Structure 1
Amino acid sequence: MSNIISIQSHVVFGHAGNSSAVFPMQRMGAEVWPIHTVQFSNHTQYQQGWTGKTFDASDITDLIVGLNNIDKLKVCDALVSGYQGSGAQCDSVVSAVKLLKKQNESALYVCDPVMGDPEKGCIVPEEVTTKLIDHLMPIADVIVPNQFELTQFTGMNITSLEGAIKACKRALSKGPRVVLVKHLHSLSDDCFSMLLATEDGMFLAQRPHLEFAKQPVGVGDLISGLFTAGLVKGMNATQAFEHAHNATYGVLLKTQQQNSWELETIKAQDEFVTPTSNYKITRVA
C-alpha cells in the first residue's frame, strides 16, 4: 500500500485543497494522511464569504513529529504540499520534507506552489511567495505550477510553447527533477494545455476547453493529487501525466453536465481509476 502525506487547505463544503485531492488519491488506491493548513466552511470565491481559521505552523510540525514517533514516516512514499497560509507554514513544510527524507530517502516531495493566476495575480502573502520560490520549490522532486507560478519561479515571461519549454528547462536547473505545468493559458483559447518536463523530454497534453458559468475551483489541487498518486502507484512520469490529464477532464465534463460550480468529485470517481477519455500526450522537445 502506498502512503501519501498531503499538507493543503481544506474546505468543509465543496472540493478545494485537500477536499479536492485526498479522495481521488484514495480512490486510486493510496493511503492519504491529510494535514490541513486552513479549514474553511467553503472556498473563498463565494460572495457570501466563508468562515473558519488558519492553523498555526506548529500544528504541521507537531503532526509530522507524531507520525514519526509511530514510525510512519519510514513507510511514507510521498509528501504533497499545496496552499500555505503563512511563511511560517512554509518553514514547517520544509522541516517536514527534511525529516521525511531522513527517514525514507526514496520518498517524493511534490510541491504545488499555490500563488495565484493571471486573472487574480498573487493570492497569498508576499512572504509565502518568497518562501515557495526560494525554499520549497528548489527542494522538491516534482513541482506543479501553473503558467503564472512558473513565471514567478523562473523570472521568465511565457507567451508561447517555445517560451514554456525554456522556462521548464530553467526550472529543472533550479532543483526539481519533474515539472508539470498544470495550465498553460497562453497556448490556445480552444484547448486546455498542460506541459510535462523531465530529463527525458517535454510532453504536451491538450483537451477541449470546457465553458462554465463560473469556473470550478480546486482543479489544480486535483491534478497535483492524481499525478502524485500515479507516481507512487508505479506509473512513470508520462503515464501519470496522461492519466491525470484524462481523469481531470472526466471530472470537469461531469461537472459541466451537472451545471455545478463545485467539482463533481464523487459522481465522477470512476474517472480516477479508468478515465473515459483518452487524449494522448505528444513529445514537443
Structure 2
Amino acid sequence: MTNCKIAPNYNPWLRCGKLARMGILSIQSNVASGHVGNAAAVYPLQCLGHDVWPVHTVMLSQHPGHSDWRGHRVPASDLAAVLKGLDDHGVFKDCSAVLTGYLGAADVGDVVVEAWANVRHANPGALICCDPVMGDSGEGLYVPDDLVAFYRHTLVPAADVIMPNVFELETLHGGPMETIEAVIAAAQYLISKGPKTVIVTSVPDGGDALGNILVTPTESWIISTPRLALRAKGSGDVLSALWLGHYLRGGQAVAALEIAVATVFAIVEMAVKDQLLELPIVAAGSAGPAGFNAPRRFKAWRVD
C-alpha cells in the first residue's frame, strides 16, 4: 500500500505525528428529514472526532427527489454573513479542511471561493476538498449552466481535492467516459488545472460493479464494489465526508478511500436489505467511531 499524501497542503499535526481533533468547515445543502449534504456529512465526521462547522447552502424539508418537499436556497448574502461571522470569531485559524458540496448557484460559488481564501489566509495548511455536486447519471444536470462554468474555471482550479461522480467528471471535462482509462485521463486533465488529487465515484466497472478511482499527478488507484440497487440518496456525500475525515486522521489518501468505500458500502447494504428510502446514518453510527471505520474489505489496485 502506498503512503499517497496530498502535498503541500498537508496538515502540520500529521507531520508532527500527532492525532489532534481537527476543525472542518462543511458548506453544503441540508435537509430536515433524511441524510444528504450536511445531514449526511456532519454526524460521521463528528463520530470520527472532528469538530464540524456546518454552513447550509439550501434548507429543505427533504431531498427534492421526494414529493411535496418545501424549503429554499440560502441567499448568497446570508451565506457570506455566516462565513464572515465565523472568520471574525477566529474559527478559521483552527480549520484543518473545508468540504464543499451542493451550491446551487454561481453567486454562492463566489462566496465559497472567498471563504476558501480566508481559510487559507488564517491557516495555510488547510485542505480544500470540493465535491462538485451538479448531477448524476440517469438524472442529468440539476444546476444552472453558469454554475457549471464556475466550477470549471474557478472552483476546480482553486481546490486541492475534487470528488466528482463520473457524470460530473464528464460534465467538467466535456465528453463521455466509456473506459477506466478515459476516466483517469480526464482526472489528470483536471489535475493539470490545479487540484492535486481527483477522486471519481460511481464509475461503471463491468456490468455488476462500480469503481472509485483516485488519481494524483503520479498514481492512479481503483477500488471496485458490487453494484447495489440503492434507492436512498446521499451515498456520495457520506463518501466525501468519510474520505476527508479518515485522511485527516491518517494522512494516507488511498487507505482513507479504502475505509470510506467499505463503510459506505456497509451503509448501502443496510439500506438495500431493509428497503429504506434514506441512508441509515444514525444506525451506522450507533457503534461510535467504529461504525464509520469499517474493515477494508475492498482492496485498492494501482492502475498503470
TM class, shorter-length: over 0.9
Instruction: Show the counterpart of 1:257.
Output: 273
Aligned 1:111-150 pairs, distance under 5 A:
111-150=130-169
Residue deviations 1:149-185, cap 9 Å, x none?
1122222421001111111111111110010001113
Instruction: Show the counterpart of 2:26.
Output: 6
Aligned 1:166-205 pairs, distance under 5 A:
166-185=185-204, 187-205=205-223
Q: Which residues of structure 1 form unaligned runs of 5+? A: none
Shift in Å, 1:203? 0.4
CA distance in 2, matches of 1:130, 1:254: 37
2:80 aligned to 33, 54, 61, which one? 61
Shift in Å, 1:89? 0.5
Residues 156 and 167 in structure 1, CA contact (< 8 A), matched pair in contact too: no
2:258 aligned to 228, 242, 246, which one? 242
Shift in Å, 1:273? 3.6
Instruction: Show the counterpart of 2:52.
Output: 32
Shift in Å, 1:117? 1.5
2:176 aligned to 149, 157, 162, which one? 157
Letter in 2 for 1:104: N
Residues 82 and 112 in structure 1, CA contact (< 8 A), matched pair in contact too: yes
Instruction: Show the counterpart of 2:92.
Output: 73
CA distance in 1, matches of 2:156, 2:270: 33
Shift in Å, 1:274? 2.9
Shift in Å, 1:79? 0.6
CA distance in 2, matches of 1:88, 1:142: 21
Residues 254 and 267 in structure 1, CA contact (< 8 A), matched pair in contact too: no
CA distance in 1, matches of 2:229, 2:248: 32
Letter in 2 for 1:284: V
Instruction: Show the counterpart of 1:43.
Output: 63
Instruction: Show the counterpart of 1:96.
Output: 115
Indicate whether 1:279 and 2:295 are aligned.
no
Residues 258 and 300 in structure 2, CA contact (< 8 A), matched pair in contact too: yes
Q: What is the TM-score of this pair, normalised by structure 2?
A: 0.89
Residue deviations 1:102-127, cap 9 Å, x none?
11111011010011022111101112
Shift in Å, 1:37? 0.3
Distance 1:92 1:251, change over 3 A: same
Runs (4+) off by over 6 Å: none
Instruction: Show the counterpart of 1:222.
Output: 238
1:211 aligned to 225, 229, 242, which one? 229
CA distance in 1, matches of 2:267, 2:189: 32
Q: Which residues of structure 2 form unaligned runs of 5+? A: 1-20
Letter in 2 for 1:31: D
Distance 1:65 1:171, change over 3 A: same
Deviates more, 1:122-131 or 1:6-15: 122-131
Residues 50 and 245 in structure 2, CA contact (< 8 A), matched pair in contact too: yes
Shift in Å, 1:64? 1.6
Letter in 1 for 2:51: E
Residues 148 and 172 in structure 2, CA contact (< 8 A), matched pair in contact too: no
Indicate whether 1:22 and 2:42 are aligned.
yes
Instruction: Show the counterpart of 1:266.
Output: 282
CA distance in 2, matches of 1:262, 1:188: 27
Secondary structure in structure 1 of the residue aligned to 2:282: coil
CA distance in 1, matches of 2:277, 2:199: 25
2:248 aligned to 223, 227, 232, which one? 232
User: What is the alpha-carbon root mean square deviation over aligned residues?
Assistant: 1.3
Residues 235 and 264 in structure 2, CA contact (< 8 A), matched pair in contact too: yes
Q: What is the TM-score of this pair, normalised by structure 1?
A: 0.95
Secondary structure in structure 2 of the residue aligned to 1:153: helix
Shift in Å, 1:277? 5.4
CA distance in 2, matches of 1:251, 1:71: 36
